[in-house]
A and B are shown apart, each in its own frame.
Chain A
Amino acid sequence: MSAAIKPVRPFGDFLRVLIAPAIWFAHFSLVYAAEALICIGPPADQATMMGWIAVLVTAAALTGLIILAARLLRSGNTAPSRSDRSEAWLRRTSLLLTLLSALGVVWTTLPTAVLPACAL
């Protein structure tokens, strides 16, 4: 046991775990808000606009998640030393959440492929 007080890992390292589910939530909020706004516009453009927005927002969210996963995998290539146990744990937890969030993004977007925008 060390007698000195060691420098500590910043709390931001923990907050990074939340990035992937936050991306899912942002995606979810954007597609929902987009439909609400599109539906007060001219009916002729509604379906096309919703389709494009869904594609763009989903592509952006998935790109963000893929970049996140790639960074996590790359930082994991160097085997963690014993003192980095916490970091390895946080990284693997983040990876699992990234995977789950990606599933959530795809699953939430699916209805836009089969349902018309603004129909009651």
Chain B
Amino acid sequence: MADATSNYPNKLPRPRGELAELETIWAVPKSWRIVTSVNNTTIGYFYVGTALLFFLLAGILALLMRLQLAVPSNTFLSQETYNQIFTMHGTVMMFLFAVPVVEAMGILLLPQMLGARDQPFPRLGAFAFWAYFVGGLIFFSTLFFDLAPSGGWFMYPPLTSSQFSPGMGADFWLLGIGFIEISAIAGAIEIIVGVLRTRAPGMTLDRMPMFAWTMLIFAGMIVFAFPAVILATMLLELERAFDWPFFIAARGGDALLWQHLFWFFGHPEVYIIFLPAAGMVSMIVPAMSGTPLVGYRFVVVALIATGFFSFGLWVHHMFTTGIPALSLSFFSAASMAVALPSGIQVFAWIATIASGRLRLVTPSLFVLGFLFIFTLGGLTGVMVAMVPFDWQVHDTYFVVAHFHYVLVGGMVFPLFAAFYYWAPAFSRRALSERLGRWTFWLMFAGFNIAFFPMHISGLMGMPRRVYTYPAVMGWDILNLISTIGAVLFAAGVGLFLIDLIRNLRPSVANAAGNIWKAGTLEWLPNDVYGPRSIPIVTSADPLWDQPRLADDVEAGRYYLPGSGTGRRETIVTSPIEASSQYLLRLPGPGWTPLLAAIFTAAFFMLLTAKAITLALICGVLAVAMILVWMWDSDPAPHRAVDIGGGITLPTYASGSLSHSWWAMIVLLLVAGSLYLAYVFSYLYLWTVSPQFWPKPAALAPAASPVLPAFLLVAGSAILVAAGRGLPRNAQGRRNFEILTVLAAVALVAALISEVSAQWQSGLRPETNIHGALVAMAAFLQAQMTLAALVMAGFAVARSIGGRLDCERRVVFDNLGLLYHYTVGQSLLGLLLVHGFPRLAA
């Protein structure tokens, strides 16, 4: 296509008014109404800005800690305040900065990078942001009311149980973090569907920008890792609130279960943070070296391998917990093996730098700083992967030094490189090169001065999380040096802020532009609607291989140079070859995402404050807001649209072709992961306390699961029948509605039947771990049943409103997926709680 200048999809000149219409349709709401915007650029700016705010807040907490530790026997902070501060520092950095900022960069960059007009679910993206913004601010403000958690960022029980951590601090952590995880998962769904289904035509998987690859794997890892910690927080909150003894050894629970679940999330979390940062580096290095990334395929292989290997490392945070040596060795081996794919990436970057000519500008400096610091962090990582060494340094400052080298080196430095690199694409002015160099050197020097001495203080035996130490320990000089380094690092960040204030002028339409002469699509002339026309991609670096591409795209020569339906829209393409499939109509600005987020935040926070009625009202309102936005999100089919080049695309798709179907599948993978984490917990606790499992005679009757199982299967069959009879006319509509209601009733009846059988057998959740686990199975079943119920009601309402029929059926398709999944999960639950104790006996 690059040389086929006479064969463009659309001819010039473009009709008068076409561009003006596009601009009107995509106009960003003015003044305070900007909070109703759902466009990825506005939300992206908000998202990145908020994440930076939390980075600064958590950074201030770090400075307070460093001031406290600068001299021995310091009384600047009390012990309890220090505990709250280190807990909040870690929690905010990990949950409110590191993951959200990566999602924020994804939401800001990906549509432009992929040649899409917006994310596939703009309201979901807006909801993810506002949920994070509101929830994060409330969570952080607990510090000012002495309500902040103080059990460390990983909140180990029994320290965090109601016995040893009374008060609301731990509850704020458990519910607050649970809420922010919802935001992360919403963002992950958006990213997965966006990367797989909204790439510009021709952008096959092997032409996809490396940042998109890393975001795809990042989001996939969130889907499988976050449910484990969501389950963990649910279990601990249920224990604290209702005395279900999941972590209480006297009644068969085990505190180590928390560590297993937390680190099954927590270790992949390191790579969840690192991989997108590596993706940023893989974009910056080729652009700054003026040559394509060396070993593209090897880097993709390394990313996928890292994603998988990272799930086999969680026990390396638990080497001192008394697990058998052979088990430790499995994890030790996997911990060393993960160095291999990481090394592949490092060598690919070095080879790229060597094969081109690296311009030593600020983004390159941060990349070089990243390579130096992250490699050191990786080396100490291999050291702590060796069990005997880890036993010596566990819970010392050596580990603090190690993970800061990995996280700050592996994530913060690439992020700053990214800020300097991509600022010209999203701001009228680039950031200052002079200030940038000062920022880099202050941060680089400050970081190493702050954290390198911690290796030594750790080897000298200084434990983590102590609020002070006596002078006789000999740690004072090292700590003073670390504090000086921290202040230098903060000065670098401060300089960066000055640079932002002086030079950052957010704008996509009038951005500074491609000052680095980079080769990927985000450097096309863009507006809030992305490129004027959607290009055909013929290589991984299209701007290098098609020198006229920017001009042709801006002139409107490529696909969809205007609006085909008079609404916001983007092209949905196939996941592998990126062939055009249909035109997705997107929603415009609205209040519902913001209100849904506020009510969701209120639900969680009021629940923490034990204001149950108010919490429930807010929960209902949150669901209502989401339903209101969903009401218009499945518009009736419109006539097919000619996007140019003789391609006419339909404006509606259902079944597996629909982007919505893909989102539901990803959501169900989240639910499935959560349930598998529960099954793991059940079996794990049985291996720990088999004596608490009752004899078969004491269980609910063996025949009792037959009725719920029958109801579940019958419900599925009824829903299938409802789907076959999707309405074509009024009579059909009535049959469909009756069958859907019947299916919903079957699901509820199955739940009631199971719960009453267990209750009649005398099972009580607070008695022992078996009772708690059986109740948890019912709780998880109830959760899915409620979701299916709401969705069934929504489908019936749409049918009554004439918005659901045999053609316009996306809502029903999604209900079907959710319903059948719920049935499958419930059947597995019945098998587990009724079958396993009998088998084990």
Chain A contact residues, CB within 8 Å of chain B = 1, 3-6, 8-9, 11, 13-14, 17-18, 21-22, 24-25, 28, 31-32, 35-37, 39-40, 50, 85-86, 89-90, 92-93, 96-97, 100-101, 103-104, 107-108, 110-112, 115-120
With a cutoff of 8 Å between Cβ atoms, the chain A residues found around residue B327 in the complex are 32, 35-36
Q: Given A11-B575, A85-B206, A28–B340 Cβ distance below 8 Å?
A: no
In the assembled complex, 30 residue pairs joining A and B whose CB atoms fall closer than 8 Å, in A order, are A3-B645, A4-B646, A4-B647, A5-B580, A8-B574, A8-B576, A9-B576, A18-B308, A21-B307, A22-B308, A32-B331, A36-B687, A40-B690, A85-B204, A86-B204, A86-B577, A89-B204, A92-B297, A93-B297, A93-B301, A100-B301, A103-B340, A111-B326, A111-B330, A111-B332, A117-B324, A118-B326, A119-B324, A119-B326, A120-B325
Q: Is the CB of B326 within 8 A of A86?
A: no
With a cutoff of 8 Å between Cβ atoms, the chain B residues found around residue A5 in the complex are 579-581, 647, 649
Bound complex: CA of A72 vs CA of B325, how far in Å?
A: 38
Bound complex: CA of A50 vs CA of B325, how far in Å?
A: 13
Bound complex: CA of A72 vs CA of B565, how far in Å?
A: 44
With a cutoff of 8 Å between Cβ atoms, the chain B residues found around residue A85 in the complex are 204, 206
C-beta contact mask, B295-311 vs A, less than 8 Å → 1, else 0?
A: 00110110011011101
Bound complex: CA of A3 vs CA of B337, how far in Å?
A: 48
Q: In the complex, what's the smallest C-beta–C-beta distance from B206 to chain A, in angstroms?
A: 4
With a cutoff of 8 Å between Cβ atoms, the chain B residues found around residue A101 in the complex are 305
Residues of B contacting A: mostly: helix
Number of interface residues of B (CB under 8 A): 49
Tell me whether B136 is interfacial, beta carbon within 8 Å: no
Q: Is the CB of B305 within 8 A of A8?
A: no
Q: Is the CB of A104 within 8 A of B579?
A: no
Quick one: which of B330, B341, B581 contacts A31, CB cutoff 8 A? B330
With a cutoff of 8 Å between Cβ atoms, the chain A residues found around residue B687 in the complex are 36-37, 40
Q: In the complex, what's the smallest C-beta–C-beta distance from A59 to chain B, in angstroms?
A: 17
With a cutoff of 8 Å between Cβ atoms, the chain B residues found around residue A90 in the complex are 205, 576
C-beta contact mask, B164-208 vs A, less than 8 Å → 1, else 0?
A: 000000000000000000000000000000001000000011100
Tell me whether B9 is interfacial, beta carbon within 8 Å: yes
Tell me whether B75 is interfacial, beta carbon within 8 Å: no
Bound complex: CA of A40 vs CA of B689, how far in Å?
A: 10
Quick one: which of A3, A32, A96, A117 contacts B301, CB cutoff 8 A? A96
List 18 extra interface pairs beyond A21-B304, A85-B204, A112-B326, CB under 8 A: A1-B9, A3-B647, A8-B576, A28-B334, A35-B324, A36-B687, A86-B206, A89-B204, A93-B304, A103-B337, A104-B337, A107-B334, A108-B333, A110-B333, A115-B325, A117-B324, A117-B326, A118-B324
Q: In the complex, what's the smallest C-beta–C-beta distance from A92 to chain B, in angstroms?
A: 6
Tell me whether B15 is interfacial, beta carbon within 8 Å: no
Q: In the complex, what's the smallest C-beta–C-beta distance from B114 to chain A, in angstroms?
A: 16
Tell me whether B564 is interfacial, beta carbon within 8 Å: no
Q: Given A6-B579, A8-B576, A93–B300 Cβ distance below 8 Å?
A: yes
Q: Is the CB of B325 within 8 A of A108?
A: no
Quick one: which of B196, B307, B325, B330 contacts A119, CB cutoff 8 A? B325
Bound complex: CA of A25 vs CA of B338, how far in Å?
A: 13
With a cutoff of 8 Å between Cβ atoms, the chain B residues found around residue A89 in the complex are 204-206, 297
Q: In the complex, what's the smallest C-beta–C-beta distance from B672 to chain A, in angstroms?
A: 15
Q: Is the CB of A100 within 8 A of B324?
A: no
With a cutoff of 8 Å between Cβ atoms, the chain B residues found around residue A9 in the complex are 574, 576-577
Q: Is the CB of B576 within 8 A of A13?
A: yes
Tell me whether B322 is interfacial, beta carbon within 8 Å: yes
Bound complex: CA of A14 vs CA of B577, how far in Å?
A: 11
Tell me whether B135 is interfacial, beta carbon within 8 Å: no
Q: Given A5-B581, A8-B576, A35-B324, A97–B334 Cβ distance below 8 Å?
A: no
Q: In the complex, what's the smallest C-beta–C-beta distance from B391 to chain A, in angstroms?
A: 12
Q: In the complex, what's the smallest C-beta–C-beta distance from A87 to chain B, in angstroms?
A: 9
Q: Which residues of chain B from 560 to 580 have any CB-CB distance to chain A below 8 Å in the complex? A: 574-577, 579-580
Closest to A119 in B: B325
Q: In the complex, what's the smallest C-beta–C-beta distance from B242 to chain A, in angstroms?
A: 29
With a cutoff of 8 Å between Cβ atoms, the chain A residues found around residue B204 in the complex are 85-86, 89
With a cutoff of 8 Å between Cβ atoms, the chain A residues found around residue B322 in the complex are 120
Quick one: which of A13, A92, A100, A119 contacts B340, CB cutoff 8 A? A100
Tell me whether B34 is interfacial, beta carbon within 8 Å: no
Closest to B329 in A: A111
Q: Is the CB of A11 within 8 A of B334?
A: no
Q: In the complex, what's the smallest C-beta–C-beta distance from B708 to chain A, in angstroms?
A: 29
Top 6 nearest A-B pairs (CB, nearest first) are A3-B646, A111-B329, A8-B574, A21-B308, A89-B206, A96-B301
Q: In the complex, what's the smallest C-beta–C-beta distance from B120 to chain A, in angstroms?
A: 15
Q: Is the CB of B309 within 8 A of A104?
A: yes
Closest to B313 in A: A28
Tell me whether B7 is interfacial, beta carbon within 8 Å: yes
Tell me whether B1 is interfacial, beta carbon within 8 Å: yes
Bound complex: CA of A96 vs CA of B298, how far in Å?
A: 8
Bound complex: CA of A25 vs CA of B7, how far in Å?
A: 48
Closest to A36 in B: B687
Closest to A29 in B: B312
C-beta contact mask, B320-352 vs A, less than 8 Å → 1, else 0?
A: 001011110111111011001100000000000
Bound complex: CA of A115 vs CA of B307, how far in Å?
A: 28
Q: Which residues of chain B from 592 to 651 have any CB-CB distance to chain A below 8 Å in the complex? A: 645-647, 649
Q: Is the CB of A97 within 8 A of B301?
A: yes
Q: In the complex, what's the smallest C-beta–C-beta distance from A80 to chain B, in angstroms?
A: 12
Tell me whether B536 is interfacial, beta carbon within 8 Å: yes
Q: Is the CB of B326 within 8 A of A115?
A: yes
Bound complex: CA of A85 vs CA of B203, how far in Å?
A: 12
Q: Is the CB of B304 within 8 A of A50?
A: no
Q: In the complex, what's the smallest C-beta–C-beta distance from A39 to chain B, in angstroms?
A: 6
Bound complex: CA of A48 vs CA of B587, how far in Å?
A: 63
Bound complex: CA of A39 vs CA of B323, how far in Å?
A: 11
With a cutoff of 8 Å between Cβ atoms, the chain B residues found around residue A92 in the complex are 297
Q: Is the CB of B205 within 8 A of A100?
A: no
Bound complex: CA of A1 vs CA of B205, how far in Å?
A: 19
Closest to A15 in B: B575
With a cutoff of 8 Å between Cβ atoms, the chain B residues found around residue A116 in the complex are 325-326
Q: Is the CB of A104 within 8 A of B577?
A: no
Bound complex: CA of A107 vs CA of B339, how far in Å?
A: 13
Q: Is the CB of A35 within 8 A of B340?
A: no
With a cutoff of 8 Å between Cβ atoms, the chain A residues found around residue B647 in the complex are 3-5
Q: Is the CB of B330 within 8 A of A28?
A: yes
Q: Is the CB of A97 within 8 A of B304?
A: yes
Q: In the complex, what's the smallest C-beta–C-beta distance from B191 to chain A, in angstroms?
A: 16
Closest to A24 in B: B308
Q: Is the CB of A25 within 8 A of B580?
A: no
Q: In the complex, what's the smallest C-beta–C-beta distance from A74 to chain B, in angstroms?
A: 20
With a cutoff of 8 Å between Cβ atoms, the chain A residues found around residue B341 in the complex are 100
Closest to B298 in A: A96
Closest to B334 in A: A108
Bound complex: CA of A28 vs CA of B687, how far in Å?
A: 19
Bound complex: CA of A89 vs CA of B300, how far in Å?
A: 11
Bound complex: CA of A21 vs CA of B326, how far in Å?
A: 22
Q: In the complex, what's the smallest C-beta–C-beta distance from B322 to chain A, in angstroms?
A: 6
